[in-house]
Amino acid sequence: MKFRRFTSFFLFFTFIVMCFSGIVLYIMPPGKIAYWIDWRFINLNKTHWNALHTIFSYIFVIISFFHIVFNWNPIRQYLIKNRKELFSSIALSIIIAAFTILNVSPFKQVMDFREYIHTSWENKKIAPSIPHGELLPLVKLCKMINVDVKIAAERLKSNGIIFSDMEERVVDIAKVNKVKPVKIYYIIKNGK
């Protein structure tokens, strides 16, 4: 196996995964909603997509280094013969970075559109009334929404929800019962 060719192919496929996971992260709901409704895309949740994007970004940087090392002579020749393009691309990169930081058009619109997508996920029926309520134990959730612990336990049992005790976290109960955390919340709050 030729390591130089391998790095080129691996760099290409790493780039594909980074692009795809970046698009998914761009359109996915904010964390408080994603975890509350157990949002998934291709059966992967927010944590999976964040991990994929992060790991493949690191791999991309590492493989890019090897790609540059293996192709240093052609790259050096390319840099020497194309100084105008080199300095133009450096200048353009600096301008894009500055305009992004300063929130200038058209980069402002890209980020505004992302914010629009994120806020479009907000829905009074699914929005968590408690940030990361899925991580709370039942007893604490009940206290925060003013529902008696005994009533909550009865409601859960009457809806067929299995749990060991009131110290168990909402997310763990949801997972065992194959429901979304928001469903546990509504059963506790409304009885169904």
pLDDT at 191 over 80: no
- Find the helix or strand (DSSP H, E) in which 50 lies: helix 46-70
Query: Can you give the residue ranges of every domain in the chain?
Result: 1-73, 82-125, 133-190
Q: Which amino acid is at 4?
A: R
Q: Which amino acid is at 111?
A: M
CA angle 123, 127, 130 (to 5 degrees): 160
Residue 4's pLDDT is what? 84
Residue 125's pLDDT is what? 61
CB 149 within 8 A of CB 58: no
SS3 42: coil
% of the chain exceeding 90 in pLDDT: 57
pLDDT at 16 over 70: yes
Band the pLDDT of 5: cuts 50, 70, 90.
confident
Residue 3's pLDDT is what? 84
Residue 121's pLDDT is what? 82
Tokens of 33: 């909603």
Band the pLDDT of 91: cuts 50, 70, 90.
very high
Residue 131's pLDDT is what? 77
| pLDDT per residue as tens digits for the range 124-172 | 566 666 778 888 898 998 888 889 889 999 999 999 999 888 899 999 9
Residue 182's pLDDT is what? 87
